[in-house]
């Protein structure tokens, strides 16, 4: 992609290094006696991509909320352009030129690109009405700067995740943001889309914008970030300025020990009889004749690029999407679920990709969220509808401990937990009554390397007890370390299957890009 953002002068760069845009001085923040931040101190330089890494709950999000005016430090200072500031509200952060793009995209469905880019601003008016002409001229200039390939009038619903991120970045630039904080920007992107976003980020930095890059994909942090700050238990435990940090060193700083990173799958093990058999499944739009088998005790991974039809295939299986052809057989019996509740009753569990909007009740407690799919088992009796609340809390504590949820109490709202701990709660829900089949869509999205290892441990334990697991992931490294077999999809079709030591990141990526005449038919895929 040609440069669209411009080049920062050497004088500006030298000034940026001498006087940082933002200095954080001994900032501390506690919630009910729990220290979220302890004497945090580091600087953010203009024109630099600054990586913030650490385990879920390490303090990264709390610090960003303090910069955004959502939370307020108990002590310490935030200095912008050499002046100590009070960021009492998000409007104060915006006035300082600080913009924030969160993992859960804040786009208004049904609105156009232009309207979403203007959201939160005071657009020019004429006779009391929005004057769209100057607003459109400015938005078009920003769109050209970012290399947007779509029109301003298109609905954001029609855009893919990568283009939606461009809209959010465009919104920040419409506000003349001098610093943009991005939380897990590539979590839902393919490698190609992530590379495109990396180019945009580098060009933003080259033009003088400071970029805070929060990601659990440590390889991209190593490649992209010039400055890196590592958080652990609310404190800064490592700080690198002007140097690339190898992934292994980042892992060691985050978890406090070395973690083995698998380069290929393990030797195939023997598994039980088939639990799920999908034959020639089609939906007429995104899934085109997919066949697969999941055995008892097996973890089958589905790889491929975003948009390959993997999530849609899962929807066909558990009744969230209409199936126009093919068959689904569960434990030897053909099934056709009218809705997901039918699949749950049949013994299928699901942890969807969008856990906050599709899986969890954020305002309700950990206790409620773990037990919500099995409330019937907590009734006093068939004729007495009240629930045994003491048993509910006891069960929730046991399962939360089993998946290492970090929380003060199971009465805490799920929305107060970090992303990784929310994911653990979503999985714990299906440990109450072990499902025959568990479908995990992006199980480690937004989860740090340590928490991911814990999630994988829970999944493997479930498999060892006979549950069949279908794991959909855009992270090839995750598929290598977790799965017994991997099938790869492209454009709604299976392009190949990998077993045991055949499972490598390179092979998964290669099959993800197989199209046209190169694509294998399902007869070539070893599904049985």
Say how far apart CA 513 and CA 20 lie, in whole Å: 43
83 forms beta bridges with 80
Per-residue model confidence (pLDDT) at position 388: 65
- Give 44's strand partners: 22
**Structure letter (DSSP) for residue 155:** B
Look up tokens 């490294």; give the residue: 477
Altogether, the residues listed in the chain come to a count of 528
Position 336 pLDDT exceeds 80 = yes
Residue 2 pLDDT level (bands cut at 50, 70, 90): very low
**Average pLDDT value for the chain:** 83
Residues 388-415 have pLDDT tens digits of 677 778 888 888 888 888 888 888 998 8
Residue 26 has pLDDT above 70, yes or no: yes
| DSSP result, 10-63 | HHHHHHHHHS-SEEEEEEEEEETTEEEEEEEEEEE-TT-EEEEEE-TTSSHHHH
pLDDT digits (tens, 9 = 90+) for 165-193: 889 888 888 888 899 998 888 876 767 77
Look at residue 445 and tell me whether its pLDDT is greater than 80.
Answer: no
Residues of the chain with pLDDT > 90, as a percent, come to 33
Q: How far is CA 109 from CA 380, 438, 495, in A?
A: 43, 30, 33
Is the distance from CB of 28 to CB of 37 less than 8 angstroms? Answer: yes
Candidates 430, 426, 423, 412; CA nearest to 453 is 423
Tell me the residue ranges of DSSP E strands in 305-413.
325-330, 333-335, 348-351, 379-381, 384-387
Distance (Å, whole) CA 74 – CA 436: 48
Q: Which domains does the chain have, with CATH numbers?
A: 1-97+178-255 (3.40.50.300), 109-176 (no CATH), 273-347+436-453+463-521 (3.40.50.300), 360-434 (no CATH)
In this predicted structure, what is the pLDDT of residue 527? 40
- Model's pTM, two decimal places? 0.61
Q: Among candidates 81, 170, 175, 60, which has minimal Cα distance to 122?
A: 175
Residue 472 has pLDDT above 90, yes or no: yes
| pLDDT confidence of residue 13 | 45
Which is higher by pLDDT, 498 or 55? 498
Banded pLDDT at 526 (limits 50, 70, 90): very low
Q: How far apart are CA 481 and CA 278, in angstroms?
A: 24
**Whole-number pLDDT of residue 4:** 38
Could you tell me which residues are beta bridge partners of residue 282? 288, 325
pLDDT at 52 over 60: yes
What confidence score (pLDDT) does residue 279 get? 95
Q: What is the pLDDT of residue 262?
A: 64
**In whole angstroms, what is the distance from residue 68 CA to residue 101 CA?**
11
Residue 15 pLDDT exceeds 60: no
Sign (positive or negative) of CA dihedral 223, 227, 230, 234: negative
Query: Between these two residues, 200 and 192, which has the higher pLDDT value?
Result: 200
Rounded to 5 degrees, φ, ψ at 453 are: -60, -40
Name the phi and psi angles at 525, rounded to 5: -95, 130
Q: Give me the pLDDT at residue 49, please.
A: 94
Q: What is the pLDDT of residues 241-268, one digit of tens each?
A: 988 788 888 878 877 665 566 667 777 7
Q: Beta strand 379-381 with 235-240: parallel, antiparallel or unpaired?
A: unpaired
What pLDDT is stored for residue 55 in this prediction?
A: 73
Residue 7's pLDDT is 36
pLDDT score, position 524:
43
What is the C-alpha separation between 488 and 308, in angstroms, rounded? 9
Confidence of residue 381 (pLDDT cuts 50, 70, 90): low
253-310 pLDDT, tens digit per residue, is 877 665 566 667 777 778 889 999 999 999 988 899 999 999 999 999 999 877 788 9
pLDDT per position as a tens digit, 206-216: 989 999 999 87
> Sorting pLDDT into bands at 50, 70 and 90, what band is 135?
confident
């Amino acid at each position: 992609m040609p440069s669209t953002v411009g080049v920062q002068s050497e004088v500006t760069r030298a000034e940026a290094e001498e006087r940082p845009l933002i200095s954080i001085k001994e900032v501390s923040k506690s919630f009910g006696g729990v220290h979220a931040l302890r004497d945090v101190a580091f600087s953010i330089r203009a024109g630099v991509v600054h990586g913030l890494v650490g385990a879920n709950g390490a303090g990264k999000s709390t610090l960003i909320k303090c910069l955004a005016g959502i939370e307020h430090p108990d002590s310490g200072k935030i200095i912008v352009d050499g002046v100590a500031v009070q960021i009492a509200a998000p409007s104060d952060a915006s006035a300082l030129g600080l913009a924030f793009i969160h993992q859960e995209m804040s786009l208004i469905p049904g609105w156009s690109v232009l309207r979403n880019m203007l959201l939160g601003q005071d657009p020019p008016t004429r006779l009391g009405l929005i004057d769209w002409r100057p607003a459109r001229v400015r938005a078009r200039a920003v769109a050209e700067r970012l290399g947007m390939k779509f029109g301003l009038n298109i609905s954001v619903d029609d855009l893919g995740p990568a283009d939606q991120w461009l809209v959010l970045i465009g919104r920040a630039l419409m506000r003349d943001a001098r610093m943009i904080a991005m939380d897990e920007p590539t979590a839902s992107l393919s490698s190609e889309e992530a590379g495109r976003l990396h180019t945009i980020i580098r060009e933003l930095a080259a033009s003088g914008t400071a970029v805070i890059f929060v990601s659990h994909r440590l390889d991209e942090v190593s490649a992209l970030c010039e400055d890196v700050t590592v958080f652990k238990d609310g404190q800064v435990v490592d700080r690198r300025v002007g140097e690339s940090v190898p992934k292994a060193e980042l892992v060691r700083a985050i978890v406090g020990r070395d973690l083995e990173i698998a380069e290929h799958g393990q030797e195939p093990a023997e598994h039980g009889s088939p639990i799920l058999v999908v034959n020639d499944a089609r939906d007429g739009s995104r899934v085109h004749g997919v066949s697969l088998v999941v055995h008892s005790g097996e973890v089958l991974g589905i790889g491929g690029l975003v948009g390959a039809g993997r999530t849609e295939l899962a929807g066909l299986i558990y009744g969230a999407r209409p199936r126009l052809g093919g068959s689904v057989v569960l434990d030897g019996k053909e099934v056709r679920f009218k809705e997901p509740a039918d699949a749950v009753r049949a013994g299928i569990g699901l942890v969807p990709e969008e856990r906050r909007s599709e899986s969890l009740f954020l305002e309700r407690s950990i206790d409620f969220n773990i037990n919500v799919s099995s409330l019937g088992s907590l009734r006093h009796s068939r004729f007495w509808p009240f629930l045994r609340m003491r048993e509910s809390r006891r069960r929730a504590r046991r399962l939360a401990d089993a998946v290492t949820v970090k929380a003060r109490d199971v009465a805490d709202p799920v929305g107060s937990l970090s992303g990784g701990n929310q994911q653990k709660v979503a999985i714990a829900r299906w440990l109450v009554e072990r499902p025959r089949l568990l479908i995990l869509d992006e199980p480690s999205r937004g989860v740090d390397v340590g928490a991911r290892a814990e999630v994988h441990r829970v999944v493997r334990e479930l498999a060892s007890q006979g549950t069949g697991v279908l794991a959909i992931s855009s992270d090839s490294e995750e598929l290598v370390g977790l799965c017994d077999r991997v099938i790869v999809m492209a454009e709604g079709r299976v392009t190949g299957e990998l077993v045991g030591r055949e499972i490598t990141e390179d092979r998964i990526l290669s099959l993800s890009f197989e199209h046209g005449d190169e694509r294998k038919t399902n007869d070539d895929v070893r599904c049985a």
